[in-house]
Amino acid sequence: MLIYTVKRFFEMVIVFFLFLVISYLLFNAIPGNAFSSLLLNPLLPPEAYQKTIEAFGLDKPLYERVQLYIINFFKGDFGYSYTYYPRTPIDLIAERLPRTLMLFSIVNVIAFYTGFLVGKILAWRRGSKSETWITIGSVFSYTVFYPWFALMMLWFFGYKMDWFPLGKFLVPEKWYDSPYTSDEIFYTLILFVTVSSFLLFLVFIFTRNIESLQNRRNVRFLGLLSLFALAAMYWSNGEAALKRFYAADIAFHMILPTFTVTLVAFAGTALLTRTTMMEVLKDDYILTARAKGLSQKRIRDRHAARTALLPVVTSFIFTIITIIDGSVLTESIFSWPGMGQLILEAVVQEDIPLAMASFSFIGILALIAHFIADISYAFLDPRIRIKAEN
């Protein structure tokens, strides 16, 4: 097992090295460079362009630059962003990443939860009219051309109905005399969401051993109520009361993107759940559960859906890996200033240090995820373990 892990780790390092070199070469294959646009300005003397290029080392031959970049990379020096000079890529990523993670974590949790609920009910009502129509709707939303759909949502809810803002993170007019930066407010929001979901989780964990169903439902309801009370108390006292106004502005801007992505993302989960659950419903233990005289709801939720949950959880884990690269489209359409927009900007502007840093970040995430998956598979399945050791 240890040998396998070490072997896998070295493989990972080699793959990452190749990843770095190939990405760097690919970015250089784009015609021109980050400062080509300077040449378009007739008022700028050609020497200025030459000087800028030399300052950033873009005049050096390609192999030298690759070498330098990779050596610096492993020293932990990622250079400076060309477009956001003098900010460093790390600084920019640290600013943008929480925004993307916050938006898409919420989206994914909602999408998987509702998708699972809908899929479960679809399988249970197999053959009914509502099942047919909702399934057709889900297939539509699963296969729809996403950018078009997002634009339509933006047009309808943002422009036609004017219910939601047309993208962006906040309304600048409201923030002129703000004593806080948007990041400070955003971190408060993140903390709030994290703590409240953790408390919610605790409520469910601690009540799951209550024997009587009626009591369990009541206790959970009380728990939810007290959580709401706590949240209300938090936002109406002390510093949080001052932040409330600004936090609401950011939260308001999150609604439409969340809703749109959820609508698209939930369909896949719903269809997956529906298929798995229909398989499960044929199993003998469902008949046992019915023979035991359990209620329909309990058979559906406890016996059928519980088993159908496993593939859904697997797909959830793999979705988390693709959050960042998946965010490019959404963030461009909704002008959400997160990682997706940063990456797009960096590539379009040929901001190589920034683009490289962002892509390596995604690459490292993907590699680690696969590494963990491989190791845990080997751990769970003895057959893989033996094969791996030989």
Partner 1 sequence: MSQKLLEVTNLSMHYDTLDGNVDAVKNVSFTVNSGESFGLVGESGCGKTSVAMTLLQLQPDNSVITEGSIKLEGKELIGLSENDLRKVRWDSISIVFQGAMNAWNPVIKIGEQIREAMREHYPQNSKQENINKINELFKMVGLDESISERFPHELSGGMKQRAVIALALSCDPKIIIADEPTTALDVVIQDQILNEIKKVQNLLGLSLIYISHDIAVIAEMTDKIAVMYAGSIVEIGPTQSVFESPKHSYTRALLDSTPSIRGEKKKLRSLDGEPPSLINEIQGCSFSPRCPSPSSGCKNQSVEMGLIQIGEEHFVDKCCSECV
Beta carbon of residue 283, minimum distance to partner 1 (angstroms, whole number)? 6
User: Is the separation of the CB atoms in 84 and 353 below 8 Å?
Assistant: no
DSSP 127: T
295 binds partner 1 (CB under 8 A): yes
Q: Is residue 353 within 8 Å of residue 73, measured between CB atoms?
A: no
Question: Please, where are the H alpha helices in 144-237?
Answer: 146-153, 182-207, 213-235
Query: For partner 1, which residue of 145, 162, 212, 238 counts as binding (CB under 8 A)?
Result: 212
∠ Cα 379 384 390 (to 5°):
110
* 168 three-state secondary structure: coil
Number of residues that bind partner 1 (CB under 8 A): 21
Nearer Cβ to partner 1 (37/130): 130
Residue with tokens 């023979």, as numbered in its chain: 291
**DSSP-based three-state secondary structure for 100:** helix
- Kindly tell me which of 189 and 305 has the beta carbon lying closer to partner 1: 305
40 vs 380 by CB, closer to partner 1:
380
Q: Which of 295, 290, 367, 358 is nearest to 325 (CA)?
A: 358
Interface residue with partner 1 among 2, 29, 43, 291 (CB under 8 A) is 291
Nearer to partner 1, 261 or 277 (CB): 277
Options 41, 143, 296, 314; binder of partner 1; rule CB under 8 A = 296
The only residue of 1, 94, 109, 213 in contact with partner 1, by rule CB under 8 A: 213
Rounded CA-CA distance 127/278 in Å is 12
Q: Does 382 sit near partner 1 (CB under 8 A)?
A: no
Query: Which range of residues in 91-99, 297-305, 318-326, 348-356 is near partner 1 by CB under 8 A?
Result: 297-305
> Is residue 211 a contact residue for partner 1 (CB under 8 A)?
yes
Smallest gap from Cβ 187 to partner 1, in A, equals 39
- Restricting to residues 245-274, name those near partner 1 by CB under 8 A: none
Q: List binders of partner 1 among 53-92 (CB under 8 A).
A: none
CA distance 45 to 340: 35
Smallest distance from partner 1 to CB 268, Å:
23
* Contact stretch for partner 1 (CB under 8 A) within 91-99, 158-166, 249-257, 278-286: 278-286
Which member of 307, 322, 335, 349 binds partner 1 (CB under 8 A)? 307
Tokens of 267: 């369909």
DSSP letter string, 341-371:
HHHHHHHHTT-HHHHHHHHHHHHHHHHHHHH
- Choose the stretch contacting partner 1; rule: CB under 8 A; options: 160-168, 187-195, 206-214, 313-321: 206-214
From residue 170, alpha-carbon distances to 15, 86, 181, 252, 337 in Å are: 40, 25, 11, 8, 10
Q: Using CB under 8 A, which of 168, 297, 306, 387 touches partner 1? A: 306
In contact, 343 and 93? CB cutoff 8 Å: no
Could you tell me the smallest distance in angstroms from the CB atom of residue 149 to partner 1? 36
HSE value, Cβ hemisphere, 13 Å, CA-based, for 315: 21
Among 179, 238, 293, 382, binds partner 1 (CB under 8 A): 293
Interface residues with partner 1 (CB under 8 A)?
Answer: 211-213, 283-285, 287-296, 298, 302-303, 306-307
